[in-house]
């Protein structure tokens, strides 16, 4: 069964990780006009909190 022929909703693809594989996948998908989201993994909880604050509130004081 074809997955996309009967689906009228646009497909948004999430890529988790911005290593070489994630970036390569993002470039390939964008070249084919796919909508995507990039998500980064932060191992440091302070870095994760700062990234969340920047994305949510537009900066760090």
**Mind listing the pLDDT tens digit for each residue in 2-59?**
455 556 777 888 888 777 788 888 889 889 888 888 777 656 667 767 777 888 887 6
The predicted structure's pLDDT at residue 3: 53
Q: Is residue 41 part of a domain?
A: yes
Report the alpha-carbon distance of residue 25 to residue 2 in Å, rounded: 22
**Contact (Cβ atoms closer than 8 angstroms) between residue 38 and residue 18:** yes
Helices of type H across 1-61: 20-31, 45-57
The predicted structure's pLDDT at residue 15: 84
Question: Tokens 């004081």 map to which residue?
Answer: 61
What is the extent of the structural domain holding 18? 12-57
Count up the domains in the chain and report the number: 1
Q: Is residue 35 part of a domain?
A: yes
Report the alpha-carbon distance of residue 31 to residue 47 in Å, rounded: 31
């Amino acid at each position: 069964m074809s997955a996309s022929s009967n689906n009228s909703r646009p497909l948004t693809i999430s890529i988790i990780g911005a290593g070489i594989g994630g970036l390569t996948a993002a470039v390939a998908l964008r070249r084919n006009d796919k909508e995507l989201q990039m998500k980064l993994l932060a191992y440091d909880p302070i870095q994760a909190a700062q990234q969340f604050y920047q994305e949510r509130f537009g900066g760090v004081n």
